[in-house]
């Protein structure tokens, strides 16, 4: 049996993996021990109601100052500043240096597999209705502000890892958009924002000026964990070890709002005079991971959204 180490477990991905582990969905990957490194372990223990569990170990460690890290078989590097809470570009230099430190620490280990979580933001803004392949140009210069700096940091981190880590032990996952019960609310992500409105019993507010022309796709958190575990545990050697992770089923922001409005019975608020038709198509082509790992989405978007709504209602009762 194997040990999985999560660097930075307090975000959406980390929580989703913890949830899958506690529900025994990682057993088929022969993962029987999970180590979570985070500066917020007490918060995680409370959220998941964990008091004593020898199979899941929480270590309250500041990775920036850590001198020694736990032994393991697999590593998922999910430690980074949430884009929505980043205030200036200097923060990304700090996290790039952290990636370098972690890379240089673990690259000496012979029998370890390292999964780095990058982002679809590296492709920049896509103004045509075409799904983004891993071979698409990296064009973060057409982004602006913090988003541009974030994408630049991801590209820089990817390149450093590819140049300094054994390609047979390294996998890079470019993450797109997701849903799930641990999705942050009110953090500039459409699903989270809309359900934040639902939770507070106010109209679902669409902030964008072209909601019919902004397209996203949403992979449920259970499928996300499945995809990531397939990548790191059942690693297939390819000429390029970079994979897009997400759903390839596009939906406009307006369509998404309508779906959430329908299941929650809460109306939508938006600027009906908006005339912008600028396309923003942030949808991955995932043919590569489907072909290499014979996997597919198992949870429909409607079902995923309903699970979030059910969780909100349960929290209200409690």
> What are the pLDDT digits (tens) for 94-136?
999 999 999 999 988 888 999 999 999 999 999 999 999 999 9
Q: What is the pLDDT of residues 62-80, one digit of tens each?
A: 899 888 899 999 999 998 7
Q: What is the pLDDT of residues 215-271, one digit of tens each?
A: 999 999 999 999 999 999 987 666 679 999 999 999 999 999 999 999 999 999 988
Phi, psi for residue 192 in degrees, rounded to 5: -60, -45
The predicted pLDDT at position 273 comes to 75
Q: Residue 316: is its pLDDT beyond 90?
A: no
Q: Residue 16: is its pLDDT beyond 70?
A: yes
Distance between CA atoms of 246 and 65, rounded to whole angstroms?
33
The predicted pLDDT at position 83 comes to 61
Q: How confident is the model at residue 85 (pLDDT cuts 50, 70, 90)?
A: low
User: pTM of the prediction?
Assistant: 0.95
Distance between CA atoms of 247 and 143, rounded to whole angstroms?
22
Question: Which residues have C-beta within 8 Å of that of residue 53, sequence separation ≥ 6?
Answer: none
């Amino acid at each position: 049996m194997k040990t999985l180490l999560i660097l930075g477990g307090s975000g959406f991905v980390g929580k989703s993996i913890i949830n899958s582990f506690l529900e025994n969905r990682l057993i088929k990957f022969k993962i029987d021990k999970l180590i979570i490194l985070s500066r917020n372990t007490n918060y995680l223990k409370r959220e998941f109601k964990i008091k004593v569990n020898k199979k899941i170990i929480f270590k309250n460690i500041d990775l920036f100052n850590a001198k020694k890290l736990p032994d393991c078989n697999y590593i998922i590097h999910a430690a980074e500043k949430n884009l929505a809470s980043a205030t200036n570009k200097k923060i990304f230099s700090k996290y790039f240096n952290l990636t370098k430190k972690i890379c240089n620490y673990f690259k000496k280990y012979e029998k370890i597999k390292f999964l780095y979580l990058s982002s679809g933001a590296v492709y920049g803004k896509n103004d045509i209705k075409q799904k983004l392949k891993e071979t698409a140009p990296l064009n973060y210069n057409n982004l602006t502000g913090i988003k541009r700096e974030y994408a630049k940091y991801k590209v820089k981190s990817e390149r450093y890892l590819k140049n300094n880590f054994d390609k047979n032990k390294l996998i890079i996952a470019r993450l797109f958009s997701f849903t799930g019960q641990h999705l942050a609310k009110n953090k500039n992500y459409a699903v989270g924002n809309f359900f934040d409105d639902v939770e507070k019993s106010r109209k679902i507010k669409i902030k964008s000026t072209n909601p019919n022309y902004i397209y996203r796709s949403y992979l449920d958190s259970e499928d996300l964990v499945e995809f990531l575990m397939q990548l790191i545990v059942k690693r297939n050697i390819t000429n390029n070890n970079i994979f897009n992770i997400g759903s390839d089923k596009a939906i406009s922001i307006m369509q998404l709002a309508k779906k959430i409005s329908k299941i929650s019975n809460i109306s939508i608020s938006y600027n009906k005079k908006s005339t912008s038709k600028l396309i923003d198509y942030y949808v991955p082509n995932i043919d590569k991971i489907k072909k290499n790992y014979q996997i597919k989405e198992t949870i429909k978007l409607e079902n995923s959204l309903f699970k979030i709504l059910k969780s909100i209602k349960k929290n209200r009762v409690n």
